[in-house]
Amino acid sequence: MAHGAHGSVLVVNSGSSSIKYQLVDPVGGGAIASGLVERIGESEGLVKHTYAGNTTTRTDAVPDHGAGLRAVLALFDEVGPDLAEAHVVAVGHRVVQGGSVFGSPVIVDDDVVAQIDALAPLAPLHTPPNLTGIQVARELLPDVPHVVVFDTAFFRTLPEAAATYAIDRAVAKAHDVRRYGFHGTSHQYVSGKVARVLGRKLEDLNQIVLHLGNGASASAVRGGVAVETSMGMTPLEGLVMGTRSGDVDPAVLIHLQRNAGMSVDDIDDLLNRRSGLKGLAGENDFRELHKLVEAGDEDAILALDVYVHRLRKYIGAYHAVLGRVDVIVFTAGVGENDDIVRARALEGLEAMGIAVDLERNAGRKKEPTIISPDWASTLVMVVPTNEELAIARQAVATVEAAGYEGTSDESDPAPAAAGHA
Ligand code: AMP
């Protein structure tokens, strides 16, 4: 296969009880193999490995992340592809929080691990499992460079006015309280892809990027540079999400602690796991939510209304931040698949030059697609995100810049046509 000629990248996303991975061809852009390990630490684990259209499943116990990654490497050996033949030039790790320290990907060494570890208080749920994944991967694959790509890095450019919370500066400084932004790899990839698909210079485009997945965030991107985003110090701020509240008055937390007898951990659990669509309607998957709405379920109707209302507020706000908006782009699970959310998010904005053509909008979009009518002054697009490919390409660029042997001909493949429906 072609990937052998120019190398591949193993992309690893390590969570608290799971490891997701993909062996990526950074030139062609495809996934050569992919899989996940789930239920790490439970009595029965789950390992799924997909290669050449076949999925192999194992349910042996996976006591820890080391055992999980060993099981994955064993499956590469057993069912392929052979990692030696795939010529892995780098392992790319997704790390959620890079704080104010990391504005670009870095090659992992012990200092980098220590620096990421020092940022753990800012992302206590994510950073420890991210680091565990890095450590076991370094042990099991010691001969390739490991590169960390940070979810926050694209938002290191946020202007101070956007990044600063209006609280006592000394307190904020002492505890690194500021807005970092997340999903940066996706916002960067998608805004770059928009320019390539349109054949326009990224520098010339003002974009609002709506990454709507189970987690959701919006960003304002001026000429390829992020100037505002909806997630803040943590991925809890901003839009309504699957299980996260997004914006609430901070005094709600004080009230619940003072008057509802809730502990800090209770409130953490409430806002991160029992809120959002799940908290409002008992359902966080839009496919199920729409069924409830159609059946007249009032909680589901309100949940969808709250979700859309919040999204529209952000779109309006980012319009003011940018002044002129050339492209509004939807991405991730909801953004790529849910034509109802897309249509409702931009309904009634014709006076702003924004509209969705219902025929172009209809259905799921697997390719970059323009869904606005021809007369609209702002293009509305759906562009599928691909965080693994973005991480793989950044990993290759990082190891090549550091003088490692990399891929021979890294280039962007020809953009897919903006498929008008
Ligand atoms: P992500 O986090 O990007 O993987 O997005 C996951 C979410 O996308 C799910 O929770 C669903 O709400 C949504 N989703 C996935 N497929 C569809 C679909 N066909 N129609 C509507 N929403 C979908």
For 84-115, what is each residue's pLDDT tens digit? Answer: 999 999 999 999 999 999 999 999 999 999 99
pLDDT at residue number 405: 66
Stretch 323-332: mean pLDDT, rounded?
98
Assess contact for 304 and 343: CB atoms under 8 A: no
Assess contact for 58 and 47: CB atoms under 8 A: yes
| Closest CA relative to residue 215, chosen from 194, 260, 184 | 184
pLDDT at residue number 182: 96
Burial 308-344 (b: 16+ CB within 10 A, else e): bebbbebbeebbebbeebbbbbbbbbbbbbbbebbbb
Assess contact for 345 and 334: CB atoms under 8 A: no
Stretch 9-27: mean pLDDT, rounded?
95
Stretch 405-414: mean pLDDT, rounded?
48
Q: Is 245's pLDDT higher than 90? A: yes
Q: Is 359's pLDDT higher than 80? A: yes
| Closest CA relative to residue 306, chosen from 330, 279, 333, 328 | 279
Q: Is 3's pLDDT higher than 80? A: no
Interval between CA 262 and ligand 1 midpoint (Å): 31
Both ends of the chain: CA-CA distance in Å? 33
- Confidence class of residue 420 from pLDDT cuts 50, 70 and 90? very low
Whether 265 is catalytic: no
Question: Residue 71 — φ and ψ, nearest 5°?
Answer: -65, -40
Q: Is 213 in the pocket of ligand 1 (CB under 6 A)?
A: yes
35: enclosing H helix or E strand = strand 31-38
- Confidence class of residue 407 from pLDDT cuts 50, 70 and 90? low
pLDDT at residue number 109: 96
Q: Which domains does the chain have, with CATH numbers?
A: 2-150 (3.30.420.40), 200-382 (3.30.420.40)
In the annotated binding site for ATP, the residues are: 20, 211-215, 285-287, 333-337
Interval between CA 78 and ligand 1 midpoint (Å): 32
pLDDT at residue number 167: 98
What type of residue sits at position 256? L
- Confidence class of residue 387 from pLDDT cuts 50, 70 and 90? very high
Using CA positions, which residue lies closest to atom 11 of ligand 1? Answer: 285
Stretch 187-196: mean pLDDT, rounded?
98
- Confidence class of residue 125 from pLDDT cuts 50, 70 and 90? confident
Q: Is 421's pLDDT higher than 70? A: no
Burial 25-62 (b: 16+ CB within 10 A, else e): bbbeebbbbbbbbbbbeeeebbbbbbbeeeeeebeeeb
51: enclosing H helix or E strand = strand 46-51
Two tokens at 403? 């003088």
Q: Is 43's pLDDT higher than 70? A: yes
Q: Is 290 in the pocket of ligand 1 (CB under 6 A)?
A: no
- Distance CA(129)–CA(136), nearest Å, equals 11
Interval between CA 97 and ligand 1 midpoint (Å): 24
- Confidence class of residue 406 from pLDDT cuts 50, 70 and 90? low
Assess contact for 343 and 361: CB atoms under 8 A: yes
Stretch 142-159: mean pLDDT, rounded?
97
- Distance CA(317)–CA(307), nearest Å, equals 16
Assess contact for 49 and 56: CB atoms under 8 A: yes
- Confidence class of residue 4 from pLDDT cuts 50, 70 and 90? very low
The pTM for the full model equals 0.93
Q: Which residue has the tokens 């509240």?
A: 245
Catalytic residue among 25, 151, 339, 357: 151
- Confidence class of residue 367 from pLDDT cuts 50, 70 and 90? very high
pLDDT at residue number 225: 98
- Confidence class of residue 419 from pLDDT cuts 50, 70 and 90? very low
Neighbours of 269 (CB within 10 A): 13
In percent, how much of the chain has pLDDT > 90? 93
- Distance CA(9)–CA(396), nearest Å, equals 8
- Confidence class of residue 161 from pLDDT cuts 50, 70 and 90? very high
In the annotated binding site, the residues are: 13, 20, 94, 211-215, 285-287, 333-337, 387
Q: Is 276 in the pocket of ligand 1 (CB under 6 A)?
A: no
What type of residue sits at position 163? A
Mutate to test the pocket of ligand 1, among 189, 337, 339, 383 (most ligand atoms within 8 A of CB): 337
Q: Is 237 in the pocket of ligand 1 (CB under 6 A)?
A: no
Q: What is the pLDDT of residues 262-310, one digit of tens each?
A: 999 999 999 999 999 999 999 999 999 999 999 999 999 999 999 999 9
- Confidence class of residue 16 from pLDDT cuts 50, 70 and 90? confident
Stretch 198-218: mean pLDDT, rounded?
98
- Over 66-99, what HEC string results? HHHHHHHHHHHHHHCCCCCCCCEEEEEEEECCCC
- Confidence class of residue 6 from pLDDT cuts 50, 70 and 90? confident
Q: Is 314's pLDDT higher than 70? A: yes
Cα distances (Å, whole numbers) of residue 106 to 10, 148, 397, 404: 16, 5, 10, 13
